[in-house]
Amino acid sequence: MSRILVVSGSPRAKGNCSVLIEQFCFGASQFNATIEVVRLHDRNIHPCAACRSCKESDEANCVIDDGMTDLYPKIRAAQALVIASPIYWWNVSAQTKLFLDRCDALDGPSGNVLRGKALALLLAYGGESVEGSGASHAIGAFQDAAEYIGFNLVGIAHGTAWEAGEIRENEIAMEMAYQVGADIARIVTK
């Protein structure tokens, strides 16, 4: 079964990232993939302790038992990972950054679990442009990580919106989210 794990790093349950996720899922719905959405804000995720216990074997997970613990098997089982985040201070949200830092536990002696997986980004920001909002910094970080780790950055949907749900009015962002959903679902259901 094809699995897509969508991770939302937004503190708002019904904010612009949620709208982009809905549109992504609508685009992916034309294919037979299982989609699970996880809200990071609802989880108690601690920062990485840099203990390196996760590097001892490929099966090792992070020793911190918190809101990440049950996500590791979901990430391993997924063919695609979708990260949705608002842009705060020229980068992804704190919730998203904690999640990404803790994904270091997926990089064992034989390589990174994310290698070969499809990845997509859904970003919402308050600035007038991808450059002025800082979204370009987040996009650049994911592009660099894709090259280094070897995951397939399938697509990026992004758009500007200030108020919760306002991104619905951004036709370009909505079309991008729909298309990224269709593209990533097409890849994982081949």
The domain total for the chain is: 1
- What is the spatial distance between Cα 174 and Cα 167, in angstroms, rounded to a whole number? 8
Domain that holds residue 63: 3-188
Q: For residue 81, what pLDDT is reported?
A: 97
Residues 113, 76 contacting (CB under 8 angstroms): yes
Give the span between the Cα atoms of 5 and 24, in whole angstroms: 12
| 112-162 pLDDT tens trace | 999 999 999 999 999 888 888 889 999 999 999 999 999 999 999 999 998
Digit-coded pLDDT (tens) for 153-181:
999 999 999 899 999 999 999 999 999 99
CA-to-CA distance for 67 and 125, rounded, in angstroms?
26
All residues at 6 or more sequence positions from 58 whose CB lies less than 8 Å from its CB, including other chains: 108, 109, 110
pLDDT of 57 reads 85
**Mean pLDDT across the stretch 24-50?**
95
What is the CATH number for 162?
3.40.50.360
Distance of alpha carbon 78 from alpha carbon 119, whole angstroms: 10
pLDDT at 1: 57
CA 185/CA 40 separation, integer angstroms = 22
